[in-house]
Structure 1
């Protein structure tokens, strides 16, 4: 075993008592650990820290037996805390097995939900709850997840031994650290090779349980505009992957107040607490099981370039961060996007409309095939990637496109998060038939309004000149700003115009 005194143990209980860093625990486990220390309603969990990823790969993609025994010890502790038993009745414990690198990479690595079931335990779960329909739905979800992520073959059945399932799923999450979408994401964001992903094993809570259940994603501020309002999406009788995968089109977060009137104020309260703790716009994943709220993750939220400016300035105005720190909240890529002040000319035919998910305007050829999109982009053709929904494997093609349009999904899906972060115009949830309507055409995508226009409808406008937040942010720059500062070109352009 390669652990040393400078590293955490190979398996860590995430109860808030271990002072682990984000680099050690990975973003997801660090978030769970921190929120449990704060007393927030977070399901119990343990983690294999990031250094174990290297141990796994150095051991021939195998988890050493001494680490595995430590996993089983922590699994017993999870049973004690939940009052449920893993792999046995009368109250089976199901777990999620989640990835989590030090840097946030939404949707790039793999997660397995509802692990711990087999046909016999599915029957036990149905007997315990008196709800065979829910038990069967949970079993089917697990089978799909396990086949797609652990086995890599749709329709493959998981092994009947839940312990064997767990060991294989942990390995699959560690394996996902080396997949092509992770490589593409890290290269695009200049993140380097990185230490690896951690694995979080967490007691399941069930958004698909009943009519008083559901799952959602919320942001403490609008990630597209930066407005200081709670923003997000929600799906009733669903699990987290249903929202973030983009395969379903969710409802607005406000709809929670109609179904669960006491839950929405609690969401507002928790969002405010976590924003204060992070001193930044935060992205929070949550689940409600039979009316009981659970928080699953919190991280700094991916945001559009213009939202990055507004949030940074508003937080500086509020005294949460200094003007100097506000300047660090806008990346080089976001600053470059801010220099592109394009709009849409009036009078062009609207071919599709959906949810505005990644502000900006771009023109390109609509392409639905991933390989064709990569080939055309490599040849210099601006490509608008048009898909029924976007899966994580689509990310390399997304990064080579000028815009993305999907038939399904919402503004908190992984596709929307990825596009918003890099300033890529994105329209999601444009409806069935959009791919057939657009493919092969030259189109203009307006990610700020959610409209897709026929032909080249783009023109330059002066929106940036009237953006008070950008003007204020630029005023924070010192008189002698380094030429390699992300905002230096924008200020130089302003001075030339003045």
Structure 2
């Protein structure tokens, strides 16, 4: 920690075009790479992971360096955008994002809409003429700040939102008008203030506390467990990226999504995307809302869909691997916010390795190296031996089949696994807090959520069958039973998930696995390689 100001990693602000992932995190490094490739990336700066350990230790010098780095970086963003943090006419808003050297999807914290207060919210209305955007963003910021920085739980905010929707006869939060959202922001602020968790009015203070909280999230229980499960315990820490906000909640020509350059479940060479209109990015990856697919995006915003597909292809060729891309559309304009090598199922890993080698993006030796750790017993096509009637259907987020005891909490799934039995984790929605339950379960089923939520990404990486968005699934409040349409399901009952058809059945079923054809191709390449040696 030398000098009065830490060296910043700059994205779209001049200066460095390549950022070392070990220092600035893979997220910032890839943002810089996307900017250099000419893709539309909101300007940003990153603070080094070198600050992580001393901030965790509470060292005063680290906090001084953090303040200095934020001040310098915000000055650069203000000069680049012509906006000012907290301004009453042209306000600047930023996101504060984590970023380690290796991707840890959803395990660390993110805070959006930093810079929101009553003055800047009305400044956003003056700048955009969109009061709904301003008040929606303000209430979102109050909630996420209170949770991440102030340590509050989501429940009181969710209850206040539910009350407001009932009072306004709104089917979902997207139907709330600006006046209702302004009142909701006031309610959220009162809830947070009562717990001494409200954001300070000063945007500079907001930014400091948000960045500090993102650094501190490195030691959250879920992050520690994820690193242990994935052999990432020797990483330096997280960096912090501060990026100019683009607003996916600006209206019907806006939204946020996640796209994969190929299907991460099967490996098929086609764009695989989930998108929510008039939404911010956390709405998509949280799994709390059910998104639409790439086809729906193409029908409403065809130019955006074409730009997204072209950008994903550019990134795949540049990185020589399948990419997982986060993006936002603001009033019909596309912005790329993140790219990383996609988490994929074992089955997809084999197909992708073979296809990339066949297409000439990688050589055969590299293809073999990429599947070294793939469990071939999980990479084949699994199917149930016996037929059984489907009692419900859901969207396939990760293929495969699974049969086990119904469990409605991660703790239940862990207990069943400890007894040596198979478990199916069944949730209304999942969060990254359920990572221990994912590890224990053989399959995951949710009532809502999409294929690109953080939960689905983690399930695919673990090779677990995962079905999401089961509209007929209703879980009892005590987390010990559920209804699947007209059928009753209790804790410990047998349930089966088919990750090929999306069908859900009841009862115990046997599973057979047929070898994937790519396994034979890769064995042949391995034999060829051995003969050459």
TM-score, normalized by length of structure 2?
Answer: 0.85
Counterparts of 1:295-314 in structure 2, within 5 Å, are 295-314=336-355
Larger mean Cα displacement after TM superposition, 76-85 or 8-17: 8-17
The answer to whether structure 1 residue 255 and structure 2 residue 307 are counterparts is no
The answer to whether structure 1 residue 91 and structure 2 residue 90 are counterparts is yes
2:159 equivalent in structure 1: none
The answer to whether structure 1 residue 401 and structure 2 residue 450 are counterparts is no
Q: CA deviation at 1:71?
A: 1.6
Whether the 8 Å CA contact 2:398–2:464 is kept in 1: the answer is: yes
Give the whole-Å Cα distance in 1 for the aligned partners of 2:508 and 2:474: 18
Distance verdict in 2 for CA 1:371–1:69, change over 3 Å? same
Cα deviation digits, residues 375-431 of structure 1 (max 9, x gap): 332333322111111111111121111111111111111111101111011111112
2:10 equivalent in structure 1: 13
Whether the 8 Å CA contact 1:51–1:196 is kept in 2: the answer is: yes
Counterparts of 1:328-343 in structure 2, within 5 Å, are 328-330=369-371, 332-338=373-379, 342-343=382-383
Match 2:224 to one of 176, 183, 193: 183
Whether the 8 Å CA contact 1:25–1:102 is kept in 2: the answer is: yes
Counterparts of 1:62-73 in structure 2, within 5 Å, are 63-73=62-72
1:78 equivalent in structure 2: 77
Match 1:448 to one of 490, 500, 519: 500
Give the whole-Å Cα distance in 1 for the aligned partners of 2:229 and 2:395: 25
Give the whole-Å Cα distance in 2 for the aligned partners of 1:55 and 1:12: 19
2:203 equivalent in structure 1: 162
2:187 equivalent in structure 1: none
Whether the 8 Å CA contact 2:401–2:511 is kept in 1: the answer is: no
Cα deviation digits, residues 64-83 of structure 1 (max 9, x gap): 21331122011011011111
Counterparts of 1:214-363 in structure 2, within 5 Å, are 214-330=255-371, 332-338=373-379, 342-363=382-403
Q: CA deviation at 1:9?
A: 4.6
SS in 1 for 2:526: coil
SS in 2 for 1:268: helix
Whether the 8 Å CA contact 2:6–2:68 is kept in 1: the answer is: no
1:374 equivalent in structure 2: 414
2:452 equivalent in structure 1: 412
Cα deviation digits, residues 227-249 of structure 1 (max 9, x gap): 11111111110111111110000
Give the whole-Å Cα distance in 2 for the aligned partners of 1:379 and 1:149: 36
Q: CA deviation at 1:252?
A: 0.5
Q: CA deviation at 1:433?
A: 3.0
Give the whole-Å Cα distance in 2 for the aligned partners of 1:338 and 1:130: 52
2:55 equivalent in structure 1: 56
Distance verdict in 2 for CA 1:9–1:62, change over 3 Å? closer
2:136 equivalent in structure 1: 137
Give the whole-Å Cα distance in 2 for the aligned partners of 1:61 and 1:114: 27
Give the whole-Å Cα distance in 2 for the aligned partners of 1:336 and 1:149: 40
Distance verdict in 2 for CA 1:449–1:434, change over 3 Å? farther
Give the whole-Å Cα distance in 2 for the aligned partners of 1:413 and 1:386: 16
Match 1:469 to one of 518, 525, 529: 518
Give the whole-Å Cα distance in 2 for the aligned partners of 1:27 and 1:253: 26
Give the whole-Å Cα distance in 2 for the aligned partners of 1:166 and 1:290: 26
Give the whole-Å Cα distance in 2 for the aligned partners of 1:439 and 1:198: 44
1:487 equivalent in structure 2: none
Counterparts of 1:432-447 in structure 2, within 5 Å, are 432-435=472-475, 436-437=482-483, 438-440=489-491, 441-447=493-499
Cα deviation digits, residues 10-29 of structure 1 (max 9, x gap): 43222374232222211111
TM-score, normalized by length of structure 1?
Answer: 0.91
The answer to whether structure 1 residue 390 and structure 2 residue 445 are counterparts is no
SS in 1 for 2:105: coil
Structure 1: gaps (5+ residues) = 482-498
Q: CA deviation at 1:336?
A: 4.6
1:490 equivalent in structure 2: none
Compute the RMSD of aligned alpha carbons: 2.1
SS in 2 for 1:412: coil
Match 1:209 to one of 239, 247, 250: 250
Cα deviation digits, residues 329-372 of structure 1 (max 9, x gap): 22525435226x53113531323311111112222111112323
Q: Count the aligned residue pairs.
A: 474
Whether the 8 Å CA contact 2:407–2:426 is kept in 1: the answer is: yes
Give the whole-Å Cα distance in 1 for the aligned partners of 2:392 and 2:327: 31
Larger mean Cα displacement after TM superposition, 431-440 or 66-75: 431-440
SS in 2 for 1:328: helix
Structure 2: gaps (5+ residues) = 154-190, 193-197, 476-481, 484-488
